[in-house]
Amino acid sequence: MDKETMIIVIVGVMTLGWLINNWIRAKHGYPLEDEWGGKTEPAATGETKALREENRALHEKLDGMQDRMIVLEKIVTDRGYGVAEEIERLRDQRKIDANTAEGAGVPLDMRRKERG
């Protein structure tokens, strides 16, 4: 193989590598390299802008959910057992109030004129 052919093969392989590199970068949305080593940003389309806005909204929601998770973790770790006991106490209180309102004891059958 002579020198001219070798140079053409090397230049061809380098150009092919540069094209494949830019194709991969374009496919994944990275800035493209020009022949002088600079970067060319891909143009933002309407779909790209919509996706970025949706992504921003989802990040804000995630931040809010993380804040809520922190509060719930504090409730569970700080007073988790106390909350369960308080709920049970309120249930018991409601049962007592319901029995008191109906008149605790044996219910009277008013049709038979039973007296308590």
Q: Is the distance from CB of 32 to CB of 18 less than 8 angstroms?
A: no
Distance CA 12, CA 16 (A): 6
- Give 101's pLDDT tier (boundaries 50, 70, 90): low
Distance CA 94, CA 98 (A): 6
- Give 54's pLDDT tier (boundaries 50, 70, 90): very high
Q: Is the distance from CB of 86 to CB of 79 less than 8 angstroms?
A: no
